[in-house]
């Protein structure tokens, strides 16, 4: 084990509610039904992929230019919502998990499909805790494709087999496994059944990782 690659939303911070509000406003503007249950389908999916899922319920078709305009509108609203984020918005155990990885000499990466990841990290005050942050704007294929996790491993200079991926979304776990990495799910086992192990939150991250290091369950020894 030489590197740990984290997702952002739902793992380190919870911007899901802000995404929900922004997507809900867009859906309402297009007379498309949108609720919390539907929002679950967007977890781990990039912006354009999420838009496609929402517009599938519309009564008309949209040109590429119209889709881009709608996506930009959603993002603008979302950015106003996250403008007031601060370190208080970090999820419990997040900083401790990042610090533990660095203390063990592990490389730390971020693989978020959010194009606002850099802004969010800065607002949270944790940019310096990552060795590499994938720029989602440079990724051609979103999760569940493994591209973003493979990019993170490559830039960290670590073989994917020596990486652990941490995700809260089923699509993200699929991406981690497709990249050939050990997958830690954060959330409910029933939803994240593809993960190699599941924890309720990052408060349990240190103990779980120490157990993996001792048992070699992560298909490799810890650094």
Residue 165 has φ and ψ, to the nearest 5°, of -105, 140
In 3D space, the residue among 10, 50, 13 whose CA is nearest the CA of residue 34 turns out to be 50
CATH of 3-13+87-215, one of 3.40.605.10, 3.40.50.1000, 3.40.50.300, 3.30.565.10: 3.40.50.1000
Class of the CATH domain delimited by 16-82: mainly alpha
Q: List the chain domain ranges.
A: 3-13+87-215, 16-82
pLDDT at 13 over 60: yes
The reply, when asked if residue 141 is annotated as ligand binding, is: no
Q: pLDDT-derived band of residue 16, with 50, 70 and 90 as boundaries?
A: confident
Residue pair 99/36 in contact by the 8 Å Cβ criterion: no
The reply, when asked if residue 8 is annotated as ligand binding, is: yes
Give 79-96 pLDDT, tens digit per residue: 998 888 999 999 999 999
CA pair distance 91, 216, nearest whole angstrom? 28
The reply, when asked if residue 35 is annotated as ligand binding, is: no
Give 191-209 pLDDT, tens digit per residue: 999 999 999 999 999 999 9
The reply, when asked if residue 41 is annotated as ligand binding, is: no
CA pair distance 115, 112, nearest whole angstrom? 8
Count CB atoms within 10 A of the CB of residue 56.
Answer: 8
Question: Do 3-13+87-215 and 16-82 show the same overall fold?
Answer: no
9 part of the active site? yes
The stretch 30-48 carries a mean pLDDT of 88
Residue pair 106/3 in contact by the 8 Å Cβ criterion: yes
The reply, when asked if residue 154 is annotated as ligand binding, is: no
The reply, when asked if residue 162 is annotated as ligand binding, is: no
The reply, when asked if residue 143 is annotated as ligand binding, is: yes
7 part of the active site? yes
pLDDT at 116 over 70: yes
Q: Among 7, 131, 162, 196, which one carries the catalytic annotation?
A: 7
pLDDT at 126 over 60: yes
Residue pair 11/168 in contact by the 8 Å Cβ criterion: yes
- What's the mean pLDDT when you consider all of the chain? 93
The reply, when asked if residue 168 is annotated as ligand binding, is: yes
């Amino acid at each position: 084990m030489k590197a740990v690659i984290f997702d952002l939303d739902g793992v380190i911070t919870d911007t899901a509610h802000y995404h929900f509000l922004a997507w809900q406003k867009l859906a309402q503007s297009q007379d498309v039904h949108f609720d919390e249950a539907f929002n679950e389908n967007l977890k781990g999916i990039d912006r354009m992929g999420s838009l496609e899922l929402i517009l599938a319920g519309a009564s008309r078709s949209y040109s590429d230019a119209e889709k881009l305009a709608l996506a930009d509108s959603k993002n603008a609203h979302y950015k106003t919502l996250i403008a007031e984020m601060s370190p208080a918005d970090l999820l419990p155990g997040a900083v401790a998990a990042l610090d533990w990885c660095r203390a063990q000499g592990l490389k730390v990466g971020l693989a978020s499909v959010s194009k606002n990841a850099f802004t969010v990290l800065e607002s949270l005050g944790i940019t310096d805790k990552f060795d590499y942050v994938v720029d989602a704007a440079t990724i051609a294929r979103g999760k569940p494709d493994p591209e973003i996790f493979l990019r993170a491993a490559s830039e960290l200079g670590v073989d994917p087999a020596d990486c652990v991926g941490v995700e809260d979304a089923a699509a993200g776990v699929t991406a981690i496994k497709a990249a050939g990495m050990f997958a830690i799910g954060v959330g409910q086992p029933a939803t994240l059944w593809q993960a190699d192990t599941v924890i309720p939150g990052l408060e349990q991250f240190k103990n779980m990782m120490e157990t993996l290091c001792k048992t070699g369950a992560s298909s490799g020894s810890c650094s």
